[in-house]
Amino acid sequence: MASDAVLELTDDNFEQEVVSSDLPVLVDFWAEWCMPCRMLAPVIDELAGEFAGKVKVGKVNTDDSREVSVKYGISAIPTIILFNKGEVVRKFVGVTPKSDFAEELSKY
């Protein structure tokens, strides 16, 4: 994890940190070996800082947390899902411009 503002999400804490969250949560499903995931990491860190207090931002390592990855149908990474009140409201697959994320997050 590069930023203190980004939560490390796992099979064990996903329900509490994401599904039960009062704030919207942007979740980055990634893996250490995934080069596009590494390219996207600084963008996720920046968003976590810019939207601190308004939106939670977290990362799920798909190699370590297979249960939650399967539950949300992650078949390609990076996949970034925005949750609001425990529900999936938007899914981004692949490297996505920061502006696309910021536009979506600004709604909350």
DSSP state of 17: I
Find how far residue 100's CA is from the centre of its chain.
14
Domain 6-105 has CATH 3.40.30.10: yes
Q: How confident is the model at residue 56 (pLDDT cuts 50, 70, 90)?
A: very high
Measured CA to CA in angstroms, residue 71 lies from 14, 19, 36, 47, 88 at distances of 11, 13, 22, 25, 12
Domain ranges of the chain: 6-105
Q: Average of pLDDT values for 35-62? A: 96
Cβ distance 59 to 28 under 8 Å? Answer: yes
Instruction: List residues with catalytic annotation.
Output: 34, 37
2-27 pLDDT, tens digit per residue, is 568 899 999 999 999 999 999 999 99
pLDDT in tens, 59-87: 999 999 999 999 999 999 999 999 999 99
Q: Which residues of 27-59 are buried (b: 16+ CB within 10 A; e: fewer)?
A: bbbbbeebeebeebbebbbbbbeebeeebbbbb
Give the pLDDT score at 2: 53
pTM: 0.94
pLDDT surpassing 80 at residue 1: no
| 103 phi/psi in degrees, rounded to 5 | -60, -45
